[in-house]
Structure 1
Amino acid sequence: MNDGETSSRRHGVGRPHAIEEKGRRRLSRMVKQNRSQTVAQLTAEYNAGPSRIVSEHTVQRTLLDMGLRSKRPTRVPLLTKRHRQLRLRWAREHRDWSMDQWERVAWSDESRFVIHHGDGRVRIRRLPGEQLLPQCTVGHTQAGGGGIMLWGTFSWASLGPMVVVEQTLNATGYLNIIADQLHPYMASVFPAGNGMFQQDNATCHKAKIVLEWFQEHDAEFQLMSWPPKSPDLNPIEHIWDVMGRQLRVQRPPIRNISDLRDRCLNIWYNLSPAIYQGLVASMPRRVEAVLRAKGGPTRY
């Protein structure tokens, strides 16, 4: 200190890591080989190797420190090469759409809601940004169990009707919905005949009698082209997620089908305009995400 120089003998602070860098790399490889392994399984496999014996607590703490947290697999549709090509083509055709054009689209879909919802116990470990890796995803499927099927539509201007589908939705049933529910909604929201209606490529949507009905009414609104396997492009999917989360936390628990129907309708008709208008405003970002993914799945 008298010479104006400083030094320190304190080279480290605290206890050294029980799993050093080499062990961390090995642990990372084990996770990537099977992302659904539990901490107990990873610990047993790790301790079977040449490294020093560690506890489950140490493995858990190390995984968290490495950013490998346990999460539910991301739900994405299973896309073939042809699906990707069609999605990419659609995104290119709509990449320059203005907000005025997006605001003239009525979005629609069906979704099933059940009384006793599964909790999705299957979990995987992944790093941030890995949610769309094939090993971190599952196919896009609906939950089973006793419940109801709902059909709904909305646009930037307003929520449309919500319909409870009493039986399996076939072409005749769907035709009744669009004739009795969709038609007056489109006439009310788009009286100038400049609206567009979006539907996916479900079998009942593409039935001959349904397509003929749309052709007969094409002077009132247009049927929008839609790529296959594209729930990430449909903003109504987010509304289904919002409804599902609200149903799971409501108290008292859902008692029966009638109670489930009433709660679903109540949530739908009380959605804030900020929610569905924000979803419409997200369309340019959704299109851009498909372009970046070259037609592949996106985080939406």
Structure 2
Amino acid sequence: MAKTKELSKDTRNKIVDLHQVGKTESAIGKQLGLKKSTVGAIIRKWKTYKTTDNLPRSGAPRKISPRGVKMITRTVSKNPRTTRGDLVNDLQRAGTKVTKPTISNTLRRQGLKSCSARRVPLLKPVHVQARLKFAREHLDDPDEDWENVIWSDETKIELFGKNSTRRVWRTKNTELHPKNTIPTVKHGGGNIMLWGCFSTKGPGRLIRVKERMNGAMYREILSENLLPSARALKMKRGWVFQQ
């Protein structure tokens, strides 16, 4: 059915004015070139609500029932990596047919947004506690102390697409929650390993690790690259190495 053009407020007010001076709905319709049913609807609305303004509309009903919304919200809360396609299939099995954009809009209204999963080091609980302990102990250290520190780390760069982006459904400020991250490891196949160091004054050396990292190789890397980096960065006497 074609959508009819909405009457202007001036026209609606004119209908009411003519009605108040005693004109019939048929006469008003002929004078203004409108259907009698349209005139009657405007007059009934004015009698009921004492206004000719447009009233708030309820809009189209939601395609997903409240129960369905709870179901998909619970699903992505348990497994943030659930895809929209998975949720479409879940709802279809429950008797509700929707599209992927509908899934996105529904979850967004629940405060959930599709975001790229953060990649973080794979840490054991003991490592997590050690890092928290270090952070708390040095939380109030002055900025000058950090200017005398050289930091180092290794990283792995995948060569064959294993670093492809994965998306998760999450709420604001939960990007580092374990369920919303992708654990990474330092060693593995199909990649290159890099070691580098830096300080507040800038980057130090960056080298490729061509063999599997072990204690002997790590000590060799430090002996060949750490001191030259400290000299190039013009670190002060008594500088600290933090790995």
Shift of 1:175: 2.4
Write the mapping of 1:10-159 to structure 2, written as runs, cut at 5 A.
10-12=55-57, 14-49=59-94, 52-120=96-164, 122-142=166-186, 144-159=188-203
Shift of 1:104: 1.1
Where does structure 2 lack aligned partners over 5 or more consecutive residues? 1-12, 18-49
Counterpart residue type for residue 57 of structure 2: G
In the other structure, the counterpart of 1:176 is 220
Bigger RCO of structures 1 and 2 (CA < 8 A, at least 6 apart) = 1
**Aligned mates of 2:235, 2:178 — CA distance in 1:** 45
Where does structure 1 lack aligned partners over 5 or more consecutive residues? 200-300
Report the structure, 1 or 2, having the larger strand content: 2
**Aligned mates of 1:123, 1:129 — CA distance in 2:** 15
In the other structure, the counterpart of 1:193 is 237
Residue aligned with 1:59, SS: helix
On the 8 A contact 2:117/2:175 being kept in 1, the answer is yes
**Aligned mates of 1:94, 1:100 — CA distance in 2:** 13
Q: Deviations over 1:175-208 (max 9, x none)?
A: 2322222123324545641211111xxxxxxxxx
**Aligned mates of 1:119, 1:93 — CA distance in 2:** 34
Residue aligned with 1:27, SS: helix
**Aligned mates of 1:134, 1:191 — CA distance in 2:** 37
Residue aligned with 2:196, SS: strand
Write the mapping of 1:201-216 to structure 2, written as runs, cut at 5 A.
none
**Aligned mates of 1:129, 1:93 — CA distance in 2:** 24
Shift of 1:97: 1.1
Q: Deviations over 1:72-129 (max 9, x none)?
A: 4333345555434422321222112111111111111112224333243543322222
Larger radius of gyration, structure 1 or 2?
A: 2
**Aligned mates of 1:32, 1:102 — CA distance in 2:** 39
On the 8 A contact 2:148/2:236 being kept in 1, the answer is no
Cα distance 1:166–1:43, how it changes in 2: closer, same or farther (>3 A)?
A: closer
Q: Which moved more, 1:63-72 or 1:168-177?
A: 63-72
Residue aligned with 2:156, SS: strand
- Between the aligned residues of both structures, percent identity stands at 32
Residue aligned with 1:58, SS: helix
In the other structure, the counterpart of 1:261 is none
**Aligned mates of 1:191, 1:15 — CA distance in 2:** 67
In the other structure, the counterpart of 1:213 is none
Over the residues paired in the alignment, what is the CA RMSD in angstroms?
3.1
In the other structure, the counterpart of 2:43 is none
Q: Deviations over 1:136-165 (max 9, x none)?
A: 233232585444322111112232112222
Shift of 1:46: 1.7
Shift of 1:62: 2.3
On the 8 A contact 2:197/2:204 being kept in 1, the answer is yes
* Number of positions where the alignment pairs a residue of Structure 1 with one of Structure 2: 196
TM-score by length of 1: 0.54
Residue aligned with 1:129, SS: coil
Q: Which moved more, 1:5-14 or 1:105-114?
A: 5-14
Cα distance 1:6–1:151, how it changes in 2: closer, same or farther (>3 A)?
A: same
**Aligned mates of 2:204, 2:84 — CA distance in 1:** 47
Counterpart residue type for residue 24 of structure 1: V
In the other structure, the counterpart of 2:45 is none
